[in-house]
């Protein structure tokens, strides 16, 4: 194989990076994952995600992890409520959602990010992940790269694969393309179910999408009962700096919410009054759809490092895991005589797939933050249900 006797460095230990490491180890590759977190428990994991049959689940199936996934996914957590700012339920599939199962093209099982990460970590060979490896820079050495980390260590790799997210520090070594700001900002928070009793009673172990006044509140319930939520709205890109908000101050954040979401019911206040802090502001970016770069034989990108996309189509983690699946296959495909040829084929396929998802996500984001968002979303779901 092209990667025989090659050292491979994956920078970034999210779903895509860990999936790729697993797939490559199944092919006896020499791979390490360099992750900036101190350990796997260093960060609170965000809201649950759903995996799709032809992308995220396809990658797990190829990684021989589907049976493990079936043990830890959350049946029923994909059930949805669509409600207005007064918390009136306008759509629910809690009683009408058809029974679906693995193999069904529309089945999208939900899983918490923490258990998914743990499953992937436990599937890897010991010491595959090198924690506390905050990437700083790299430089060409021999046919590969010498990588430098904040902790003072340096390592050599014949092939570097960037899986370090939307603000990738490795992307500039390959291209000067920069993500574009979508105009939407999502303010992330987490709160215990006990601290948000009215919302907890409403969500009933599923998901909530609330729309009104060009604003959203999106909520998902985690396996431990905590509620992960996002207040989503149009804002300037530099709002986190210019807002003068202390994201660790619940009283200040509640006051901001009451002013910003002034026409929303006070049922939502408990999210902001009692949330774990700090809140995390997330300006939403996307990759230009018409940009390409020159392929290299020792460097490529997967996931958001390659194709940042808004989260409004549920495709981000799925396409990232599909990247991992495709790259593992191209790197071990005997039809290619050089790594550059294999990587070029992967990048062409990846761009085509990602472009469709980005286009859909950007359009959905505009719909979800328009004045007619609630009507538009209800029409979509009612039409889909029928």
User: What are the residues whose beta carbons fall under 8 Å from the beta carbon of 273, sequence distance 6 or more?
Assistant: 250, 254
Distance CA 314, CA 102 (A): 18
Distance CA 69, CA 60 (A): 8
* 113 labeled binding residue: yes
Name the strands in the sheet holding 299-301, side by side, starting at the edge strand that comes first in the sequence. 129-130, 30-34, 7-11, 159-162, 299-301
Range 280-291 burial, b when 16+ CB lie within 10 A, else e: bbbbbbbbeeee
Range 61-99 burial, b when 16+ CB lie within 10 A, else e: ebbebeebbeeebbeebbbebbbebebeebbbbeeeeee
* 255 labeled binding residue: no
Contact at 8 Å (CB) between 92 and 382?
no
Burial of 44 by CB count in 10 Å (0-12 exposed, 13-18 middle, 19+ buried)? middle
Closest CA to 286 of 304, 301, 273: 304
Structure tokens at 247: 């994201």
Q: Find the farthest-apart pair of alpha carbons in the chain and give their distance in angstroms, rounded.
A: 63
User: What are the residues whose beta carbons fall under 8 Å from the beta carbon of 245, sequence distance 6 or more?
Assistant: 252, 253, 256
* 78 labeled binding residue: no
* Element of type H or E holding 72: helix 66-72
* Element of type H or E holding 342: helix 339-368
Contact at 8 Å (CB) between 349 and 319?
no
**Residues making up the binding site for NADPH:** 43
- Extract the annotated binding site: 43, 50, 113, 304
Binding site as annotated, residues for FAD: 50, 113, 304
């Amino acid at each position: 194989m092209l990667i025989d006797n090659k050292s491979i460095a994956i920078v970034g230990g999210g779903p895509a990076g860990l999936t790729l490491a697993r797939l490559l180890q199944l092919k006896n590759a020499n791979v390490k994952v360099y992750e900036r977190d101190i350990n796997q428990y260093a960060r609170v994991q965000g809201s649950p995600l759903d995996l799709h049959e032809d992308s995220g689940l396809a990658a797990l199936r190829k990684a021989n992890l589907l049976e493990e996934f079936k043990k830890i996914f959350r049946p029923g957590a994909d059930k949805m409520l669509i409600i207005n700012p007064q918390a009136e339920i306008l759509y629910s599939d809690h009683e009408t959602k058809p029974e679906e199962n693995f193999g069904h093209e529309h089945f999208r099982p939900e899983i918490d990010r923490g258990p998914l990460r743990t499953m992937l970590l436990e599937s890897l060979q010991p010491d595959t992940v090198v924690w506390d490896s905050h990437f700083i820079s790299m430089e060409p050495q021999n046919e590969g790269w010498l990588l430098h980390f904040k902790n003072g260590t340096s390592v050599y790799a014949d092939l570097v694969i960037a899986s370090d997210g939307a603000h990738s520090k490795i992307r500039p070594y390959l291209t000067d393309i920069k993500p574009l700001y979508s105009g939407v900002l999502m303010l992330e928070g987490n709160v215990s179910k006990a601290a948000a009793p009215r919302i907890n009673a409403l969500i009933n172990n599923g998901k909530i999408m609330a729309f009104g006044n060009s604003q959203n509140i999106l909520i998902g319930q985690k396996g431990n009962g905590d509620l992960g939520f996002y207040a989503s709205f149009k804002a300037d890109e530099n709002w986190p700096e210019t807002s003068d908000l202390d994201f660790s101050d619940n009283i200040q954040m509640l006051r901001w919410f009451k002013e910003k979401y002034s026409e929303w019911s006070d049922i939502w206040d408990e999210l902001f009054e009692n949330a774990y802090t700090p809140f995390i502001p997330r300006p939403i970016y996307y990759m230009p759809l018409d940009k390409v770069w020159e392929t290299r034989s020792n460097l490529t990108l997967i996931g958001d490092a390659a194709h940042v996309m808004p989260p409004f189509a549920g495709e981000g983690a799925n396409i990232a895991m599909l990247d991992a699946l495709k790259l593992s296959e191209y790197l071990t495909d005997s039809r290619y005589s050089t790594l550059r040829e294999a990587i070029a084929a992967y990048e062409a396929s990846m761009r085509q797939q990602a472009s469709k998802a980005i286009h859909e996500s950007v359009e959905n984001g505009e719909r979800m933050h328009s004045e007619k968002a609630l009507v538009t979303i209800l029409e979509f779901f009612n039409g889909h249900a029928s």
